[in-house]
Amino acid sequence: MSGRPSVAFWTGFALVVAALAAAPLVLPEFWQRFTTEILIWGLLAMSSDLLVGYTGMVSFGHSAFFGLGVYGAGAALLWAPRTGALAGVWDALPKLWVAIASGLAAAAVIAIFVAFFSTRLRDIYFSITTLVFSQIFYVIIFTWTDVTGGENGLTFRRPPFQIPGLFSLPFSVNGLHWFVLAVVTVSYLTLRRITQSPFGMVLQSIRENEARTRALGYAVERYKIVSVMLSGVFAGLAGVLYALQNKFAAPDFVLFLVSGETVIYNVMGGIGTLVGPVAGAAFYLLMKELLSRVFYEYYLIPVGVIFTLMVIFLPQGLLGFLRRRLNE
């Protein structure tokens, strides 16, 4: 009996991944790109769920990690040396992997900085601190025109998919989708392993009763710092993927509204599930797209009404509702 849920889960997981892999073959180009974007925002939502759902820390600073991932990747592609000895070295490097590494490094550095200060606080004070840091980085990016492009942002070319010494191929729309799907799938499996590990169990213990966890001898602050760092790195990875898709970096990606929408994805899909936030991102983005075609600039009114109703009548999110219905 204990093996059946596992078999059912992995079967469903394989079917969903297969359906997403086949999506570009049957969807028009707009919906191909839209599906890819859902996967990217779903990864950002999963990264936030590691804090919100498993550690019990509501972060409004994920826009900083996401935005630094976008800018880190863009900077690596845009500010390459054009002359001198370094130019030859740069030409030999696989640009895609350099961009990914740069975006992850930028997000990781910021995550360490934010985690060191914000984890000293709890509850609403932690949330406000992450929001403040997000706004600080937004102002820096918006005003540091010489480096970030300021309000105009950065525009760069998408690097080819390259395996050094083997091949180098430009990304097609389908190829980019499959690359993003592969990264998101591996990220989900990694986060799932983290949350089910002893480390993840301690995070959930902190969420349920921080005082008792500390009394048992666990260094709660260290666990929180690592949780914020891991969450920030995966958020930065989502930013890198977004940069590769859109070939553009703008200050709006660091704005706190991105963090707010990320929390909405979690609430709509189901907090503490990893899969739920991805479903919440898909539902929210699809709802926005369809309602904007009907209500135009007033589409946020019905979006707000639907979100309010879901919070009242579906407090466990879409995934929690489906689980309850299947168990009836």
CATH number at residue 215: 1.10.3470
Q: What is the pLDDT of residue 291?
A: 92
Q: What is the rounded end-to-end Cα distance, in angstroms, of the chain?
A: 18
Beta strand pairing call for 154-155 and 161-163: unpaired
Cα(68)–Cα(277) distance, rounded to whole angstroms?
21
Q: What is the pLDDT of residue 165?
A: 66
In a domain? residue 11: no
CB atoms within 10 A of CB 17: 15
Q: What is the pLDDT of residue 80?
A: 65
Tokens found for residue 73: 């990747």
Beta strand pairing call for 248-249 and 154-155: antiparallel
Q: What is the pLDDT of residue 77?
A: 85
In a domain? residue 13: no
Cα(230)–Cα(307) distance, rounded to whole angstroms?
28
Distance of CA 183 to the CA centre of its chain: 11
Cβ(285)–Cβ(37) under 8 Å?
Answer: yes
Q: What is the pLDDT of residue 85?
A: 60
Q: Model pTM?
A: 0.92
Q: Which residues in the chain land under pLDDT 70?
A: 1-5, 80-92, 164-165, 167-168, 326-328
In a domain? residue 283: yes
Q: What is the pLDDT of residue 120?
A: 85
In a domain? residue 12: no
In a domain? residue 242: yes
Per-residue pLDDT of 45-55, as tens digits, reads: 999 999 999 99
Q: What is the pLDDT of residue 153?
A: 87
Tokens found for residue 18: 């297969």
Q: What is the pLDDT of residue 78?
A: 83
In a domain? residue 6: no
Q: What is the pLDDT of residue 170?
A: 80
Q: What is the pLDDT of residue 161?
A: 85
Q: What is the pLDDT of residue 152?
A: 87
Q: What is the pLDDT of residue 90?
A: 61
User: Which residues is 45 bridged to in the sheet?
Assistant: none
Tokens found for residue 25: 């073959």
Q: What is the pLDDT of residue 4?
A: 53
Cα(231)–Cα(250) distance, rounded to whole angstroms?
22
Give the chain's domain count: 1
In a domain? residue 10: no
Residue range(s) defining the domain that contains residue 63: 23-327
In a domain? residue 2: no
Could you tell me the maximum CA-CA distance found in the chain, to the nearest angstrom? 69
Secondary structure of the chain in the HEC alphabet?
CCHHHHHHHHHHHHHHHHHHHHHHHHCCHHHHHHHHHHHHHHHHHHHHHHHHCCCCCCCCCHHHHHHHHHHHHHHHHHCCCCCCHHHHHHHHCCHHHHHHHHHHHHHHHHHHHHHHHHCCCCHHHHHHHHHHHHHHHHHHHHHCHHHHCHHHCEECCCCCEEECCCEEECCCHHHHHHHHHHHHHHHHHHHHHHHHCHHHHHHHHHHHCHHHHHHCCCCHHHHHHHHHHHHHHHHHHHHHHHHHHHCEECHHHHCHHHHHHHHHHHHHHCCCCCHHHHHHHHHHHHHHHHHHHHHHHHCHHHHHHHHHHHHHHCCCHHHHHHHHHHHC
Cα(6)–Cα(41) distance, rounded to whole angstroms?
27
Which CA distances in Å does 34 have to 15, 45, 102, 246, 281?
A: 20, 16, 25, 12, 12
Cα(10)–Cα(257) distance, rounded to whole angstroms?
34
